Structure 1
Amino acid sequence: MRCDGLVAVVTGGGSGIGNACVRAFLDAGARVGVLDLDVAALSGDPRVHAVAADVADRSSVSAAVASVAEAFGGVDILVNNAAVSAVGTVEEDDDEQWSRVLDVNVSGVARTSAVVLPYLRRSSSAAIVNISSIAATTGLPKRALYSASKGAVHALTLAMAADLVTEGVRVNCVAPGTVDTPWVARLLAGAADPTAEKRHLAARQPTGRLVTAEEVAAAVVYLASPATGSVTGTSLAVDGGMSGLRLPAPAGGGSGA
């Protein structure tokens, strides 16, 4: 899946899945504009143009995208990866938390897409890839707010794909399972037994391990590549089989229901 000569913009590209996407696009021959709150560690590669930006601030995003387009001559691909997480039930997350997470995770996708679309319309290889989550379609405990935000990203992806298909802009999303990222590491560090908690997270996926950021990035590049020009309005699960497989319970482990 090559992206030679194309320019990709990745939000939240400073770490985790976003940073893996940056590296994957570089390997595929693209130049990459990175938008993140902290881009200090991303300088030095002439193929990367990193700009500090907050997806919750339209003027910040507009200035950053314009900077990337000026540096590289346009934008062909947008990866809406920037997001914040939330842990809790509907009773445990307050109104301020709901507003913040939805603003970043949902409105941030719409806001950044709206800013980038004028550039994408000038490209013959225009693509948007949103990062959703398996939480969009699978009920997970204590993820009410996060799941709601990613469910909205899934629905927004389909709506955007319908709106833009006649303009030659493809829109898809990737739905990862639990990914081995710095955020998950911080979550585990706060657990009473981090080792046991990591085993629990890994066991939720039929493969028995966490998804890697590189695996998610490979799916993003696949969906963004011109080689998949007929793929739009699709959600690609990268979840170790979590969304579709129901394996037999271990011997003596009950029904597994």
Structure 2
Amino acid sequence: MTTTDTTTTAHDTTPVGLLTGKVVLVTGASRGIGAAAARLFAEEGAVVVLAARSTDALEGVVADVRAGGGVADAVTMDLADPVSIRAAVDRVEQRHGRLDGAFNNGAAGQSPGPLDATSEDDIDRQYAVNFRGQWTAMTAEAELMRRSGGGAIVNTSSIGSRRANPHLPAYGAMKRALNSLTETAAVTWGAEGIRVNGLTPGGTATEMIDDWEAATPGIVDAITASTPLGRMAQPREVAEAAAWLLSDRASMVTGVSLPVDGGAGA
């Protein structure tokens, strides 16, 4: 009499996520898309480092990740402060020795208003956070990534970067500049094994949209009406696209600004 050995090993049964074994930094992680990404990336197997201006604001997200069996810690980072950005990336190296992925998600909001009402302070704030801050983060992240053979970076842009943006002109302009920077970084660092991509989300149910609705009642209905899928995106849906771009499943994808907008930009 013969028997068939049906024993499976732990290796055979252990779930493998998109980001298993990767160390991933998430900026702007205290709320919205960043917080959703931190939770999702941990579920997909990543060790996540959450960054925001105050680590106090990150405590709930870190607790959620750890309660779900994930590994997370927090660092202080202000995208308007280059010294703070570089220090945060240095902390990632000190704690984990490497960086495999970065989701640069922080953004400075702008009070809605026409171009003629846009102030120099509006321009300066958008430049400091949505362009210079992203540039500083990308270069610091790439420097750490190349020490261990490469990695992947995803920058959050906006549907407003792909067309005229009469309600948020400074925001849209700096996000369009970020798209260009993303493409340039992809070409510049590709030979070093560093992929760089972007996301251009449409209307997403975040605190930023809540603020815009409070300032301009009816904007949520207008966004929904202009979206072929007929609804706002949830933050996790945007994070899902980022997870794929950061993963090895997207190993031949770089220099792309991927729309996650329910068809609104089509």
Corresponding letter in the other structure for 1:63:
A
Further displaced range: 47-56 or 115-124: 115-124
Q: 1 CA distance for matches of 2:35 and 2:182? A: 22
Q: Does 1:145 align with 2:170?
A: yes
TM-superposed deviation, 1:214: 0.7
Q: Can you list the C-alpha shifts for 1:158-188, whole angstroms capped at 9, x where unaligned?
A: 0110100111100000110011001111222
The answer for the alignment partner of 2:105 in structure 1 is 81
Corresponding letter in the other structure for 1:25:
F
Q: 2 CA distance for matches of 1:92 and 1:102? A: 17
TM-superposed deviation, 1:138: 2.1
Q: Does 1:114 align with 2:139?
A: yes
Identity %, equivalent residues: 34
- The SS at the match of 2:252 is coil
Q: 2 CA distance for matches of 1:224 and 1:56? A: 24
The answer for the alignment partner of 2:265 in structure 1 is 243
- 1:217 aligned residue (239, 242, 250): 239
Q: Is the 8 A contact 2:185 2:196 kept in 1?
A: yes
The answer for the alignment partner of 1:53 in structure 2 is 77
The answer for the alignment partner of 1:252 in structure 2 is none
Larger Rg: 2
Q: 2 CA distance for matches of 1:214 and 1:125? A: 26
Q: 2 CA distance for matches of 1:95 and 1:148? A: 14
TM-score by length of 2: 0.86
Corresponding letter in the other structure for 1:132:
S
Corresponding letter in the other structure for 1:40:
D
The answer for the alignment partner of 2:179 in structure 1 is 154
- The SS at the match of 1:231 is coil
TM-score by length of 1: 0.89
Q: Is the 8 A contact 1:130 1:174 kept in 2?
A: yes
Unaligned runs of 5+ in 1: 245-257
- Structure with the higher helix share, 1 or 2: 2
**In 2 relative to 1, CA 180–148 (structure 1 residues): closer, same or farther, beyond 3 Å?**
same
Q: 1 CA distance for matches of 2:119 and 2:18? A: 44
TM-superposed deviation, 1:199: 1.5
State the Cα RMSD in Å: 1.5
TM-superposed deviation, 1:125: 5.2
Q: Is the 8 A contact 1:133 1:150 kept in 2?
A: yes
